[in-house]
Each structure stands twice: as structure tokens, then as C-alpha cells.
Amino acid sequence: MKRNKRLKRRHATHIKYILSGWGIVVSILLAAVTIFTIWISTSGAIKGVVQHDANKFLQSLERRIGWEGDVPVLSDTSEQDYEGVSYAIIHRESERVIESTLPKDIPISTFTQAKEPALDYQSGSNHYYIRIKGIPKRINPRTTGSNIPRRENKDTYILCALVDYSEINTIYYDVRAFSIILILVLILCLIATSVIVNHIITRHLSKLTSQAETMIQTHNYDPSFDTKGPFIEINILADSYNQLLKQVNSSMQRQLRFNRDVSHELRTPITILKAQCQISKEQFEHEPDALKALTVIERQTERINNMTQQLHELARLDQSQVFDHTEIVDLDDVIRSICEDISFVKNDRIHFSLLLERIRIRANTGLMLVLVRNLIENAVKYSPEAEPVTVSLHRLNDTVTICVQDHGVGMSDEVREHVFEAFYRADNARSTEGFGLGLTMVKRIVDLYHGDIQIESTEGEGSTFTVFFPEAETIED
């Protein structure tokens, strides 16, 4: 959970969204381009069929034209060899319709004022192709004194053929519809395949990340990544992780053994040294120089004893060998008692500002004592005596927060990155007492309780350590 929050703050994106999104976008674009290409191709073919039918129909009309005086008429109107076509004979100047089967939504001026013999015409949702041909006026022989009738050079009448695109029966419409349906089905199959493959890939990747997060939370780095998945690349990645974990686990085991062995082997000699110091001080109580030397030895022995105790506790935490027993812990009382103990040891030279709510949680008392004491002692160590150390405890919804603020030397960004590492000490902290293990134990305890710890620090102004326990089991009074 914490890891996911940190990744979200970096504006990261789940790979499954990228794969699914790109798969769907590419499929839609491919479908759009393909459908557009099919539409343009079939439209050209359909237009060719329409033009052919219009020309054929116009030629058929010309063969059937007869005359009643000087007015052209169709000799046989029953012949209709073409579907979706209509015709008209129109007087050009007066726009008088001699014969017509044209649709009512087309004005006569469309034909009489046409500049071209062929044109496309759109009327609302209807699409027409129009073919126009002029008919010269026939001159009666009686008026010319000749036995042979003739025609004027000027086209007095026009013969019109109109084809409705939507009523043309051509296979290209079926080809277009079938192609579009086929493309849509294929695109849907492609999207479904993309989603399925994405699910398979991300399922195995999610399994790897889930195992990695569990390892981080439990500090169990045994190689356990599955290397028998369906994808070779993921199997290689998992196998590389396993090899890396073997090295990490081996290194950590060596460190744990070292911490455990050192703390165990030094315990007896340290106890003997402390006892011998006490005996020697009694024997040389009248020799100041000897007493002074023995006091220094005793103080340094106590420091080594504290270090061995911390190493022992750290080894237990690293191996998750914590106390199984949990009980109700009054966090405010724990903080208050630790502050009083430190103030007593420092002869009231350190002042605390306590902002504590009454909070009781179910936890291990020993771990809570180690956590709180190390946080507060770290703040006291780097705070000037004139500045108070502020300790606050509060609860927001289900999250318990412990905040310790000092006004000491602060730390740089580089120091913050390493401050929880064992035995790490900043350059400006080497003159103070300690071994660099206190904050390491704090971090391990926070991780054991699935919490989080944040640091805000400015060099020369101080630091603020904030511990969050989002899953703490609080107890109401």
C-alpha cells in the first residue's frame, strides 16, 4: 500500500492501462481507416454503375421520342428497363414540363439552368445523378415550303434522366455492408485479443510485484519468484530476481549471524569487565588517577554493552523474532514516561513540549518502548539545551501518528536517504554518542506494523520525524 502511494506520487501508470489503451486506440484507428477506404472505393464503383445506367436510359429515351406537331413526346412510356430512374421532357425557356416522372423535391430550374450535361444533386438526405441532353425544335415542312421536316440548331427542349443512388440495385452496396461488418467483427476480435493478452501479461507481472512487496514488508528475501510462466521474457526477469535475492539473502544472513554472534560473544566479557571495574574501584578508592581511569573504562564498557544490546534487538527484528504477546498500550503514557526519564537523566536541561491525545492501541509494549525512546533520544541528542523537543500524538480516522520535532543541526537530502541504514552516521554526528542503530530499529518496527515514517529536515534548523500506523488497532476507553 505504501509502495503504491509512492509510485502514484511519481505519476506512474499501470502497464495494463497502457497496453489496453493502446490496443483499443490502434484498433479503432485501424477500423476507421479501413472503413473509410472501403467507403471511398465502393462509392467510386457505385457512381460508375449509376453513370452507366443513366447514359443507357438516356439513349433508350432518345430512341422512343416522337413528335406531335413541334412538341416532342415519348412514343412508348411503358418500357422501363432500369430501376431507380426517372425522366422528364422540359421546354428550356419557359420551363414547361412536357412529360415527367421526376421526384417533387427537385426544382425544374436545376435542369434548365444546368451548365454541364451531367451533375450530382443533393436534396436533403437524397442523392441523385442527373444526365441532360438537348432536343432541337422540329420545324413543320408546311412553313418552309419543303417536303422534308428539319430541326433548328438551337436546343429548345431538354431530355433529362435522373438516377436515385439509394434505389440502384448493385452488388457494391452488399460488398460495402459486408466489408464494414467484417472489419468491425475483426476489430472487436483484435480488441478482445489485446485485452486477453494484456491480462495474461499483467497477471504474471502483478504476481511478481505482489511477491516483491510481501518480501519488503516481511523482510523475507528467500528466492520464490515463479519462473514457469507462459512468457520467456518474464521468466528470465523472475529468474534474475531469484539470483539477486539469493545474493541479498546470503548477505543479510551473514550480517544477521554477525550481529547475533557479536552480541552473544561480547555479553560475557562485558559483564566481567563491568564487575572487575566495580571491584577495582573499591580497591583503588584512595587513588584518584586510578579511579579516573577505571571510570573511563567503565563508561566505555557501558557503551559497548549498549551497542551489543542494540545489535541483539536488531537481529531479533531482522528475523521477525518479536514478542508474540500483545497487550493494550497507552501510547501517551509511554511517551510521557520516556520524556520524564530522559529529563531526569539530563538533570532537567532538556525541555519537552508534549501535545498528546489519549490513545490506546493493541501492540507489543517492548517494541513501542524501543520505537518511542529511540526517536526521542535521537532528537535530544542533536537539540540545543535551550530549544524544546516537541512530541505530539494524535489520531486521524484509523491512522495513529507520532511526531517528534527538534531544532538541532538538521540533515541534508543525502543524509536523509541513508539515515535508516545500520551503523550509518552523518559527518556532523560523529562527535555525538551512538552507533547508528537507533533509527534502523525504528524503521524495522514501523515496517513490522505496516506503517510509514517520513522525515522533514532543513540543515541548521532541525528535523521532524513522523510515524504513521494506518492499521493500528485502537482501543476505546
- pLDDT at res. 405: 92
How much is the pLDDT for 466?
94
Least confident of 138-142, 180-184, 343-347, 408-412: 138-142
> Residue 32: pLDDT above 70?
yes
pLDDT in tens, 266-280: 677 777 877 888 888
Range from 169-183, 201-215, 444-458 that averages highest in pLDDT: 444-458
Q: What confidence score (pLDDT) does residue 263 get? A: 63
Long-range Cβ contacts of 123-130 (<8 Å, 24+ apart):
126/164, 126/166, 127/164, 127/165, 127/166, 128/103, 128/162, 128/163, 128/164, 128/165, 129/47, 129/50, 129/51, 129/54, 129/162, 129/163, 129/165, 130/54, 130/160, 130/161, 130/162, 130/163
Distance CA 213, CA 7 (A): 13
Q: Which of residues 170 and 122 earns the better pLDDT score?
A: 122
Determine the pLDDT at residue 174. 80
Beta bridge partners of 121: 128
Distance CA 446, CA 454 (A): 11
pLDDT tens, residue by residue, 328-364? 889 999 999 888 888 887 776 788 889 999 988 888 8
- DSSP structure class, residue 1: -
Residue 207: pLDDT over 90: no
Residue 391: predicted pLDDT: 92
Instruction: Give the tens place of pLDDT for each residue, 378-414.
Output: 888 888 877 889 999 998 888 899 999 998 888 888 8
Strand partners, 66: 73
pLDDT (average), residues 172-181: 82
CA distance 96 to 156: 11
Instruction: Give me the pLDDT at residue 435, please.
Output: 62
CA distances from 3 to 210, 212, 254, 392 (A): 11, 11, 27, 26
Predicted pLDDT of residue 400: 92
Task: Indicate if the pLDDT at residue 194 is higher than 60.
Answer: yes
Q: What is the mean pLDDT of residues 450-467?
A: 89
- Percent of the chain exceeding pLDDT 90 equals 7
- How large a percentage of the chain has pLDDT more than 70? 78
- Which string of DSSP letters, residue by residue, matches 164-193? EGGG---HHHHHHHHHHHHHHHHHHHHHHH
**Does the pLDDT value for residue 74 go beyond 60?**
yes
Q: Which range is least confidently modeled, 107-111, 184-188, 253-257, 377-381?
A: 253-257
And the C-alpha cell for 18?
Answer: 497502457
Reported as a single tens digit per residue, the pLDDT across 283-307 is 877 788 888 887 878 777 776 776 6
Residue 180's pLDDT band, with cuts at 50, 70 and 90, is confident
Is residue 72 pLDDT above 50, yes or no? Answer: yes
What value does the mean pLDDT take over residues 80-95? 79
Per-residue pLDDT band at 139 (split at 50, 70, 90): low
Instruction: Decide if pLDDT at 2 tops 60.
Output: no
pLDDT band at 148 (very low <50, low <70, confident <90, very high): very low
pLDDT at residue 6, as a whole number = 46
| pTM beyond 0.85 | no
CB 238 within 8 A of CB 225: yes
